[in-house]
Structure formats: C-alpha cells, structure tokens
A and B are shown apart, each in its own frame.
Chain A
Amino acid sequence: MVKFVESELTQIKREVDQMWTLVFNQMEQSHEAVLNLDRTIAQQIMVRERRVDAYELKIDSDVEDFIALFSPVAVDLRFVLAMLKINGDLERIGDYADGIARFVRDTDMNEMDPELIENLQIKTMFSVVLNMLGTLQEALREEDAAKATAVLSQDEQLDMINKSSASILADYARKNPDAIPFCLGFGGVFRKLERTGDHLTNIAEEIVFYIDAKVLKHNNAEE
C-alpha cells in the first residue's frame, strides 16, 4: 500500500511542478513581451495559456481521485489540500500572464518610453514576482517551510510599486493625451502583477500549512 500511495502523491507533486515551470515561463515571457511590446511573444503566451488550463483540470481531477480512493489523513491530507489550492493560484497567475499578453496585442503603442518604464519600476516588479515564483517552487521541491516564509515580505514591494504607478501613469497621460488608452491598459498590468503577489503569498502559506501544519492565513488581524 505504501508504495502506490507514495507514487500517487509523487505524481501529483510532479504535475504541480511542471505546471509551475510553465506558469513561470509565461510570466517571464510576458515581461519580455510588455517591455518590447512584442506581439509575437504575446501571441505565444496566449496559445500556451490553454496548456496552463489543461494542467489545472488534470491536477484537480487527480487530487479528487486521490481523496476519493485513498482517504488521506494528516500530512497526506494537508499535502493534497495544499496542491489543490496552489493549483488554483497558479492558474490565476497564468491568467494574469495571459492578460498582460492581451494588453500587448491590443495596444496601439509600438514602443515603450524608456523614461516611463524607469519611473514605473516595472522591471523591479517583474523581477520580484519571478523571484517569488522561483523561490516558492524550490521551497515546495525541497519541502522547506522557511524558504517559503521568506518570500512573504516581498509582496509589500509589489503593493508599493502598484500604488505609485497610478499617479505616474496619470501624469504621463496628462502630458501625452494620445497615450490615454495605452495608460489605462498599462495600469491593468500593474494591478495584475500586484494580484500575482497576493496569489504567491497564498502559495507560501499553503506550503507552510502542508509542511508545518501551521495556518499563516489571516494571522495579521490588526491590519
């Protein structure tokens, strides 16, 4: 019994890891696409989004089967519950990468203003998101709760950059009225990256829940 239960769990973990790599690549590519307003890359991201959705359905189904067939308890139950939730979070992050690609496809702008890019700190924002995504993937692979917890503080930086982006884009739109539609769409990219940070925070909490059985969620009640 032990061996085949282990092999089912290993299979679910492998699928989540593969989905994770795909979502990481989608987000990395969306960075590339948005900086260069590269519509070819954007198109590739939109095509690959279907694979992210397919992974989500497969993992959902595998976890459902595992719960129905093996009645997991304790660490096994926490593991499959965490995988189910992480699966949902990764799918949402995949949606955000797809949303960013759609912005690139639809905008009338052909190239980015380097000064605007610098002021908005969008490179930093992508770098933080990708760093969180990669570190959390390692944390799950290595079952390292401390590594997962370490990324939590980075979400604040995403919130701050997102907050400041609104006024920078408003100023830019004021000075460049032709760019108003672009600025509205570009603002959506920041909100997507900020929401990605929230999902990554959820993922960190799920990893800690699985490994240490601690619930970090909603612990900051004073906020």
Chain B
Amino acid sequence: MEKIEAKEVDFYYGDFHALKHISMDIPQNKVVAFIGPSGCGKSTFLRLFNRMNDLVPGSRLEGEILIDGKNIYAPEVQVDELRKEVGMVFQRPNPFPKSIFENVAYGLRVNGIKDKAFIEHRVEEALKGAALWNEVKEKLNASAYALSGGQQQRLCIARAMAVSPSVLLMDEPASALDPISTAKIEELISDMRGKVTIVIVTHNMQQASRVSDKTAFFYMGEMIEYDDTKVIFTNPHKEATQNYITGRFG
C-alpha cells in the first residue's frame, strides 16, 4: 500500500527549476532513502511532504503530492494538521530551550492535550522509543541543551514521535553526529520500520544501504532511478546511479 504518492511534480525557486517531473510512490511503513550530490533536489523534494517549502518566497509547485490518497496541497488542508501526521528531524539537532520533558511534551500540549498522566505516559513512551529513556529518566527536568549532540538528536526524534505521526521525514539526521550516535540513530530507524513511514535524505551511502528498503537517486532535479535498495547498491540499471554510488561521478 502506498503512503505517499508524488505525481508529476515540478518545483521552482523563482525561475530556478529545482525538481523536474518527478513521480514516485512511497510504500507505507517502509524506509525510503534519497541520495544524490548536493543541490540535486533531494531535500527540496523531502520538504514538499510536509509543506516546509511553503515558507520559501517565490517558490511554486506543479503536480500533486498525496498522503493516504489525499492531496496535501489542496486548499482545505490545514498545514498544522498535516505536520502532526508528518514529523520532521533535521541535520542539526534543534531542541527547544526547555527541559527534556517539556521538549517531548511540547507537541502534545500544542495539540491541546492537558491530561497530565497521559502526557507523562506519552513522554516516557516516546523517549523509550527513541532509545533515550534510560539515559535521561533521572534528569527529565534538566535543560535539553545539557545533552550531547547525539542525545539531542534522539530527543528531537522523540519529540517528533510523541504526537504519533504516520510519516517521519529525516534530513541528514546523522551527518553531524559521531559514529556511535550515528549507529544509535540507524538502530532507531530500524526499530521504527514497520510502524511508521520514514523518508531519509542522506549523503552517507552506506547509511542508505544499511537502513532503507528502497532508494531513490536524484541528479540535477531529476529522479534518475528508484528501486529496492538491494538493486540500487548491487546492480543499478542506470549508468549515472552506478557512477555516483561507486564514486566515479563528476
């Protein structure tokens, strides 16, 4: 079953044609990786799935993006509601200047939940889900800034997951982390597989091959190839893909 469907998507930053006629289906509860050189459009494409590009002046979308069969760019769609369903984690961890507990509880409170016991339960569940609970359970009221970079990134994942989104977008979530923190993030992605649809942008090809079910290769605004990750990394069908993943690009 398809969770996200992109249909003939073109995207412009002013006159710049950033995405060219992209159609793809992202299956439900699978992990899909976007790879490609800098400036190829993979992050731009990712940000269309929760309408982050709406904030970019002069940007324009053609085509349709459907989540659960509904066009997320239809006029009646509430962007806040959409982002409850489609969480996002960025390259650099961006915790709020609040306590660890309040960071995770934030989304629930914004959504009008006041039941203290329920919030406590969800915070614990989200922190356990992000493999952070054992490290922070004794200091939930400490500032989120007191955590290490890797812990902050897992806190951001917990914060995103606290409101139970069905899609999680990850834009190079481990590129600023050390190998141990990176391994923890990858393990988290693996644990979340089957429960949530994950789309991850990464420059780390080994990471894409380790964590994803399907991989899409982008180049100069086009999606060159999209297939099972095993196929992309063992026998890609397009020469450009092969050149990129074997480091012969340029």
A residues sitting closer than 8 Å to B (CB atoms) are 1-2, 5, 71-78, 213
Contacts and interface: CB of A to CB of B under 8 A. Distances in A.
Nearest to B233: A73
Interface in B86-121: none
A78 B247 CA distance: 15
Given A73-B205, A73-B209, A213 B246 contact: no
B246 A72 contact: yes
Contact of B234 (A2, A71, A78): A78
A74 B206 contact: no
Contacts of B233: 73-74, 77
A70 to B, nearest CB: 9
A73 B206 CA distance: 9
A26 B233 CA distance: 38
B242 interface: yes
Contacts, number: 30
A77 B206 contact: no
Nearest to B241: A74
Contacts of A1: 247
Interface string B214-250: 0000000000000000000111100000100111101
A35 to B, nearest CB: 45
Contacts of B209: 73
A5 B236 CA distance: 19
Nearest to A6: B248
B204 to A, nearest CB: 11
B234 A5 contact: no
Given A73-B205, A73-B209, A75-B242, A2 B235 contact: no
Contacts of B250: 2
Contacts of A78: 234-235
A1 B246 CA distance: 10
A76 B233 CA distance: 10
A78 B235 CA distance: 9
Interface of B: 205-206, 209, 233-236, 242, 245-248, 250
Which of B209, B245, B246, B250 gathers the greatest number of chain A CB atoms within 10 Å? B246
Given A213-B234, A213-B235, A74 B247 contact: no
Given A78-B234, A213-B234, A213-B235, A73 B248 contact: no
Contacts of B245: 73-74
23 contacts: A1-B247, A2-B250, A5-B246, A5-B247, A71-B206, A72-B246, A73-B205, A73-B234, A73-B245, A73-B246, A74-B233, A74-B236, A74-B242, A74-B245, A74-B246, A75-B242, A75-B246, A76-B246, A77-B234, A78-B234, A78-B235, A213-B234, A213-B235
Given A71-B206, A74-B242, A75-B246, 9 more contacts: A1-B247, A2-B248, A5-B246, A5-B247, A72-B246, A73-B233, A74-B233, A74-B234, A74-B246
Contacts of A74: 233-236, 242, 245-246
B20 to A, nearest CB: 25
Contacts of B235: 74, 78, 213
Nearest to A70: B247
Task: Output the residue of A1, A5, A71, A73 with the most chain B CB within 10 A.
Answer: A73
A221 B236 CA distance: 27
B235 to A, nearest CB: 4
B169 to A, nearest CB: 25
Nearest to A73: B233
A24 B76 CA distance: 75
Contacts of B236: 74
A2 B247 contact: yes
A17 to B, nearest CB: 22
A92 B127 CA distance: 56
B218 to A, nearest CB: 17
Contacts of B248: 2
Nearest to A214: B235
A72 B206 CA distance: 10
A164 to B, nearest CB: 42
